[in-house]
Amino acid sequence: MKEKKRVRLIVIAVLLVIAAVCMLAAANYFRNELKAKEAEDKAKQKVEQVEVDITKEEKEEKPAPEIPIDFASLQQTNPEVYAWINVPGTRIDYPILQTEDDEYYLNHTWEKQEAVAGSIYTQKYNSKDFSDYNTVIYGHEMRDGTMFKDLHRYLEDGFMEQNQDVTIYTPEHIYKYKIFSAVIYDDRHLLYAYDFNNAEDRAAFLQSLKDSRDMRNVYADNIQVTPEDKIITMSTCVGSEETHRLLVNAVLVETQ
């Protein structure tokens, strides 16, 4: 009896330890999510402040575009903020960052606080003036709907037809894009796999999007894209499919 009681106590103790570890892990996860949400709210306050400050006179036509993002303020906090992406019809409305460590913003907010949500970012293989043929923009698929989670809506029937616009702001320019495909792709590093300085590789990448056989893929019928265009690729994860990525691609249609 004493032996059985001792075993029972050991089992209970082990279960209590496991429960405590799980509770600590959950608490840490939600603390990180809160940090990411606070960072997101602070960034968006910079946009709202600029919008409030614009007067009717300032809205009149000028040679330079009116940039509704307070980059000076954002860059005081983090000089690595170099652009802002907005996708109407979704919750995607974030600063874009780039640093020498290509993995850094996987798990750091735009304020350089550690958080599982990370940030929206590009890698050093891309220039920061969107002059490359394909600028690849990365973001997590967060279960609370933040970061690039809403890219998955482009796999829904009819969503792309109503929500094709993407706007990217920099301190000097406004770039307007139209989404032309949402494709379940493999996990290759696009900027390693293709030499986008080469017209043949540009054409090969566009063809690979069309050749993807996943039944979830969606393509726009109203947009033609060529190897001479400029495009962006927004890349995020696909749930538990570790070897897949969702690529939502858009072509540049206007620069201001």
Is the confidence at residue 205, as pLDDT, over 70? yes
Q: How confident is the model at residue 55 (pLDDT cuts 50, 70, 90)?
A: very low
Higher pLDDT, 29 or 228: 228
The rounded distance, in Å, linking the Cα atoms of 192 and 195 is 7
Q: How large is the average pLDDT for residues 229-248?
A: 96
207, containing H or E segment:
helix 199-211
Residue 173 in contact with residue 255, Cβ under 8 Å? yes
User: Taking residues 74-81, what's their average pLDDT?
Assistant: 98
Mean pLDDT of the 237-242 span: 93
The tens digit of pLDDT for each residue in 94-153 reads 999 999 999 999 999 999 999 999 999 999 999 999 999 999 999 999 999 999 999 999
> Dihedral sign, CA of 29, 34, 40, 46?
negative
How many other β-carbons are positioned within 10 Å of the β-carbon of residue 116?
15
Write down all domains in the chain, each with its CATH number in brackets: 71-255 (2.40.260.10)
